[in-house]
Amino acid sequence: MKIIRIKYIFTFFLMLLGEMPLKSAVAVEKKIKVVTSFSILGDLTRQIGGEDVDVDIIVPENADPHIYEPKPLDVKKLSQADLVIVNGLGFEGWFNRLIINSGYKGEIIVAANTVTPRVLHMSQGVNATDPHAWHNVKNAILYVTEIKQALQKKLPEKKEEIEARAKTYINVLQELDHWVHLQFNNLDSHLRKVITTHDAFAYFGAEYDIEFLAPVGISTDAQPTAAKVAELITTIKSQNIKAIFIENLADGRLVNEIAKEANVEVDGILYADSLSNPSDLKAPAPTYVEMIRYNTISLHKKLTS
């Protein structure tokens, strides 16, 4: 407390000396620390929180959120957090244990809280929820609304600034959603089929009318059966499917083998569960909007070639 008071007095003197504008002085004092489970939520939170938040992510850009193993540094990040944001829908299976270990007692926001989940009816009456809701841009808008409300609650004095940033960003997302629809508008129905590594694009497919097939299910740790792989090869051949993609994270070896067997070339990467690393300046998906644009352009190019 004493340190904070000294910092305030020092800031005040800097302002008196004209060394520091009032706005940035206040911003420095009011920043909150938000921890998000993975990179896509990190970007959405930065877009809305702007200079009022410091965002840390748990699963780094080049790690798979389905099978992530938390590190001691993650416990430290959570123990210092003012707010925690997760996707929900069963995506972060490792999260509860990490939260208990960290001692974090604050609020946990589920970004997908108001999304209509896609529920898969598996064998023997077991249901599984598909967590990849962010690939439908309309769902990302629901995520943004959840995050906005949580940030406004934490920072009531910044309510208007957060509202303005969210409004601007939602406009960008609405335009993006419209643009994705436009790309696929005139595509024949027999061309709307794509093979990917794991079943991550069903929300995208449902919204933009593309059928995605994958040898691996909604989690990357699932093992495909030989029968499922054989069935997929038959489907690729019989329906003349040309669009076969691997993903930025999931192991592409199986898809490469399937493509070889079906005599089709794999020539693209889709970003499924992570953005590209921001330090890699040549990588195409450092933000959510760029990820959706990159995936859409890659799919469109292949489906119309």
Q: Does 52 bind Zn ion (CB under 5 A)?
A: no
Residue 300: partners with Cβ closer than 8 Å, 6 or more residues away: 183, 184
Which amino acid, residue 196? T
Quick note: the x/- pattern for Zn ion over 148-187, rule CB under 5 A, is: ----------------------------------------
The least CB distance from residue 211 to Zn ion, in Å, is: 18
Pick the piece of the chain touching Zn ion (CB under 5 A) from 104-112, 156-164, 198-206, 222-230: 198-206
Residue 61 binds Zn ion (CB under 5 A)? no
* Site for Zn ion contains 200 (CB under 5 A): yes
- End-to-end distance of the chain based on CA atoms, in angstroms? 64
Shortest gap between Cβ of 65 and Zn ion (angstroms)?
Answer: 7
Nearest distance from residue 272's CB to Zn ion, in Å?
5
Q: How far is CA 264 from CA 140, 195, 225, 233, in A?
A: 33, 11, 21, 10
- Residues 232 to 291: which contact Zn ion by CB under 5 A? 273
Nearer Cβ to Zn ion, position 95 or 169?
95
CB-wise, 74 or 273, nearer to Zn ion?
273
Residues 6+ apart with CB under 8 A from 255: 195, 196, 197, 215, 244, 245, 246, 266
Cα angle value 68/74/78 (rounded, 5°): 125
Residue 230, SS3 per DSSP: helix
CA distance 257 to 239: 18
Closer residue to Zn ion in complex, CB, 217/286: 217
How many amino acids of this chain bind Zn ion (CB under 5 A)? Answer: 2
Q: In the complex, what is the shortest distance from the CB of residue 91 to Zn ion, in angstroms, rounded to a whole number?
A: 8
Minimum distance from residue 99 beta carbon to Zn ion (Å):
21
- Is residue 17 packed enough to be buried (19+ CB in 10 Å), middle (13-18) or exposed (0-12)? exposed
Considering the complex, what minimum distance in angstroms separates the CB of residue 208 from Zn ion?
A: 18
Q: For the purposes of burial, counting CB atoms within 10 Å of the CB of 97, is it exposed (0-12), middle (13-18) or buried (19 or more)?
A: exposed
Phi, psi of 42 (to 5 degrees): -60, -45
- Say if residues 305 and 284 touch (Cβ distance below 8 Å): no
Q: Cβ closer to Zn ion: 37 or 102?
A: 37
73: its two tokens: 């540094």
Task: State both tokens at 90.
Answer: 């069963």
For Zn ion, the closer of residues 68 and 184 by Cβ is 68
Nearer to Zn ion, 83 or 133 (CB): 133
The least distance separating Zn ion from the CB of residue 296, rounded to whole angstroms, comes to 18
244 DSSP β-pair partners: 195
Q: How far is the CB of 181 from Zn ion (least distance, A)?
A: 23
Span interacting with Zn ion, options 39-47, 49-57, 192-200, 293-301, rule CB under 5 A: 192-200
* Residues near Zn ion (CB under 5 A): 200, 273
